[in-house]
Amino acid sequence: MQFGPIWRALMRNRTGAILIALQVAVTMAIMVNAISIIQSRSEAMARPSGVDEANIFYISSIGFNEEFNERVTIEEDLAAIRALPGVVNAIQSNSVPLSGGGWSMGLQTEAGDDIDGIGTAVYFTDEHGLDTYGLNLVAGENFAPSDVGWREGSTPNWPDRVIITVSLAKGLFGEEEWRSAVGSTVYINSNEPMTVIGIIERMQAPWNGWDRLDNTMLSPEHTLFRSTRYIVRTEPGRRDELMPQVEELLADSNRDRIVRGLTTMEETRERSYRGHASMIKMLLFTIALLLLITALGIVGLASFSVSRRTKQIGTRRALGASKADIASYFMSENFLISGVGVLLGAALTVGLNMAMVDAFDLDRMELWLLPVAMLVLLVVGQLAVLGPARRAASVPPAVATRTV
């Protein structure tokens, strides 16, 4: 099929063609930018938290009575939970990764008020922490039981020893020398020294949108904040059966507190990324709907164009055009229109992306998306025009001689 005559015919009756081309262009701009957002959200969601998510759950305990002896309770609770068959280990802590709430501090390698620290999340834990979270110690050593102290709500001081993540070690000591962090002194609260005794491969902070998400330190302390959290790691497959057991054990063992918020790490992840996941679903739905609308528009206008040209088609048939010739005429016509549309769309897409990156905190799109989207839209256009083209092909040559 020759494009030349088709193009010239299009130019003589261009409104419908322009409308379709514009529609294809805007569709492409929306589609590519939506996919770009989906990509970056998926990448964010794929970042590992560093903990054994499948087998961890946690629960809060809140003492509300004057008689409530928090310190004793915590010691008893931990001993009882750790003794349950199926429990790998358990700790008391302030937070877990992705939970959205927790502590942060700044660390620095030199003491001094006017030095900018490097931000890090803080988890309070004891010597069971590495095992409970399922963390991978890549250098140095774990806490000893004697390292673990007790922190009250407004204790200003910090322990002498600390474990940090690789990411934090790199931030403090440099990309290459992070291993040298072990044994080094870091300062918290500007002036208070702590010795790094170990480095863990990875553990995320509680806030998934934080730009220093992998900066985390473990502080060897139990907390006496009246409200606390127990983190429990179970043997694979036994989490769900142990959750009600632990809840019951805590609720029954002490009536001066309430237990609440029994949650798995998996739920926490789901909740944490719910916004992202929902955004992805909405965008996917938008793309699907958009392609459908555009395809329907192509079907509508192509059908109109076929019915308007019935006589012309009959004439062509009478003059010797085969069914395939007629169908391919309409297919080629759509290819030309969509082709102009996707070229225009490529420009529009880049423009929209620049505007969105400018206005919002979005990642720039990847350029390979452009040719892929162009191809997809061309294929969608061809599929949409298939029906009308076949209807055109079935116009009998006798129409040519019929006067209406």
Three-class HEC string of 30-41: HHHHHHHHHHHH
Number of residues that bind another protein (CB under 8 A): 61
Rounded to whole angstroms, the Cα distance separating 71 from 225 reads 10
Pick the closer one to another protein by CB: 71 or 281. 281
What CA–CA distance (Å, rounded) separates 200 from 165? 5
Nearer to another protein, 176 or 319 (CB): 319
Pick the piece of the chain touching another protein (CB under 8 A) from 47-55, 126-134, 141-149, 220-228.
220-228
**Positive or negative torsion for Cα 150, 155, 158, 160:** negative
Selected binder of another protein within 286, 322, 394, 401 (CB under 8 A):
286
Residue found under tokens 């290819």 = 335
Q: Which of 226, 238, 323, 390 binds another protein (CB under 8 A)?
A: 226
Position 93 contacts another protein (CB under 8 A): no
Q: 49 with 204: CB under 8 angstroms?
A: yes
Q: What is the DSSP string of 360-386?
A: SS-PPPPTTHHHHHHHHHHHHHHHHHH
Check binding of 66 to another protein (CB under 8 A): yes
**Beta carbon of residue 359, minimum distance to another protein (angstroms, whole number):** 8
For the chain, the 3-state helix, strand and coil shares in percent, each to the nearest 5, are 55, 20, 25
Query: Among candidates 40, 38, 47, which has minimal Cα distance to 280?
Result: 38
Q: Interface with another protein by CB under 8 A: which range of 30-38, 72-80, 122-130, 371-379?
A: 30-38
DSSP string, 87-127: EEEEEEES--TTSS--EEEEEESS--TTSPPEEEEEEEE-T
Selected binder of another protein within 6, 10, 34, 217 (CB under 8 A) = 34
The rounded distance, in Å, linking the Cα atoms of 140 and 180 is: 10
Q: Does 404 bind another protein (CB under 8 A)?
A: yes
- Burial group, residue 71, by CB count within 10 angstroms (0-12, 13-18, 19+): exposed
> For the window 100-139, what string marks contact with another protein as x by the rule CB under 8 A?
-------------xx-x-----------------------
Q: Which CB atom, from 138 or from 343, has the smaller least distance to another protein? A: 343
CA distance 127 to 37: 41
11 lies in the site for another protein, by CB under 8 A: no
Which of 2, 8, 319, 360 is close enough to bind another protein by CB under 8 A?
360
Q: x/- binding map, residues 241-270, to another protein, per CB under 8 A?
A: -----------------x-x----------
Residue 229 phi/psi, 5-degree rounding, is: -130, 135
Least Å distance between CB 275 and another protein?
7
Length of the chain: 404
- In angstroms, the CA 287 to CA 275 distance is 18
Among residues 9, 22, 111, 400, the one that binds another protein under rule CB under 8 A: 22
**Looking at beta carbons only, is 3 or 304 nearer to another protein?**
304
Q: How far is the CB of 89 from another protein (least distance, A)?
A: 28
Pairing, β 118-125 against β 137-140: unpaired
Stretch that binds another protein, among 72-80, 152-160, 196-204, 317-325 (CB under 8 A): 152-160
* Residue 46 structure tokens: 């794929």
How far, in whole angstroms, is CA 22 from its chain's centroid? 32
Q: Which of 169, 149, 182 is nearest to 71 (CA)?
A: 149
Residue range at the interface with another protein (CB under 8 A); choices 79-87, 89-97, 327-335, 351-359: 351-359
Among 155, 322, 394, 401, binds another protein (CB under 8 A): 155
Asked if 383 touches another protein (CB under 8 A), the answer is: no
Q: Enumerate binding residues for another protein (CB under 8 A).
A: 15-16, 19-20, 22-23, 26-27, 29-30, 33-34, 37, 62, 64-66, 113-114, 116, 152-156, 189-190, 225-227, 258, 260, 274-275, 277-279, 281-283, 286, 289-290, 293-294, 296-297, 300-301, 304, 308, 311-312, 352, 356, 359-362, 403-404
